[in-house]
Amino acid sequence: MIATPFPRSTLLHVARSMPAAPQILAQLGKLLVGMEASLDDISGLLKRDPALTARIIRIANSVAYNTGSPFASIEDALARVGFVEVYRLSGFAAIDKMVGTALVRYGVSGAQLRENSLLTALVMEALAGPAGCDPRAAYTAGLLRSIGKIALERLTRDRAYAAEITAEGPLAEWELAFVGLTNCEAAAVILEEWRFEQTTTFAIRDHYAPTGPEPLAYLLNLAAGAAERGGHGLPGEFGYWLHSAEKFAGAGVTVDALEEATHTALERFGPVRAALG
């Protein structure tokens, strides 16, 4: 049985009430295309969210990124770590801000969701080169793939029936029965509202069962599976990550490339997780 889905307007209302950090990340990505943005352009954008700026500076001052004198301002961080690295730091800070509490319906803590997002993003970034994809788009898709779960958790807080999902899943079936749409569909609506690139939006929408010619959804499926096998999976999703020749062909990578990317991501994961606190 499929529940009656929430109206799109209700989902968008929830999206508009969420922290602005991911929307700033979308705008930052567009600013960095072609690398023509100035330090003032980028710092001005980030300063629209003082809490996000403070998080970026805190992460930049961690031992994972800074062994010299502390960064005193966002301009200082930009000048010393570079624009590309600041985009990565902004992504870490954005997801840190978004995932503050447990998702009770999904049976995961804020830390679990944050760590899954982080590790998936790092695998995606490492896989982007072998796949011939834009590293920023790959990283962003990994980082934000569970944004729909956060929205659906908020939408269903007042529902008095149906408890948490179980690890057996499958998650999408539970979501359809409970709220009438999947977290992947909800994420696509939200990311479109926030004006993320279509490649990122569609990759997240389709990554449970990727089809078609675009590699990013296949890549995200493999990366999320790597996070699961690395000990940072989420309940109800295991069955979506089974390997197949079609997935590797669609992503344009080999099994060896995935293993190497996973190894690289896990090496980076520990220091970055520590930086997020």
Q: What is the pLDDT of residues 2-55, one digit of tens each?
A: 667 777 888 888 888 887 888 888 888 888 876 667 888 888 998 888 888 888
Asked if residue 168 has pLDDT above 60, the reply is no
Quick one: pLDDT band at residue 206, thresholds 50, 70, 90? very high
> Is the CB of residue 113 less than 8 Å from the CB of residue 149?
yes
The pLDDT score that the predictor gives to residue 161 is 44
Q: Which residues pair with 108 in a beta bridge?
A: 103
Asked if residue 99 has pLDDT above 90, the reply is no
The pLDDT score that the predictor gives to residue 162 is 47
**3 found inside a domain:** no
How far apart (Å, rounded) are the C-alpha atoms in residues 24 and 47?
10
**136 found inside a domain:** yes
**249 found inside a domain:** yes
Q: Which has the minimum average pLDDT: 32-41, 181-190, 194-203?
A: 32-41
Number of H helices, E strands in the chain: 15, 0
Asked if residue 164 has pLDDT above 60, the reply is no
Q: What is the pLDDT of residues 78-89, one digit of tens each?
A: 877 777 778 888
Range with top average pLDDT, 112-116, 166-170, 241-245:
241-245
How far apart (Å, rounded) are the C-alpha atoms in residues 80 and 39?
11
**2 found inside a domain:** no
**1 found inside a domain:** no
Structure tokens at 109: 């803590």
Helix, strand or coil for residue 108?
strand
The pLDDT score that the predictor gives to residue 2 is 64
Domain that holds residue 36: 8-276
Ramachandran region, residue 170 (left: φ > 0; alpha: ψ -120 to 50; beta: rest):
beta
Q: Which has the minimum average pLDDT: 100-109, 128-137, 183-192?
A: 100-109
237-251 average pLDDT score: 96
> Is the CB of residue 89 less than 8 Å from the CB of residue 56?
yes
How far apart (Å, rounded) are the C-alpha atoms in residues 22 and 245?
34
What's the mean pLDDT when you consider all of the chain? 86
Quick one: pLDDT band at residue 90, thresholds 50, 70, 90? confident
Q: pTM of whole model > 0.75?
A: yes
**27 found inside a domain:** yes
With a CB cutoff of 8 Å and minimum separation 6, the contacts of 244 are none
CATH code: domain of residue 176:
1.10.3210.10
For the chain, how many structural domains are there in total?
1
Q: How many residues does the chain have?
A: 277
**184 found inside a domain:** yes
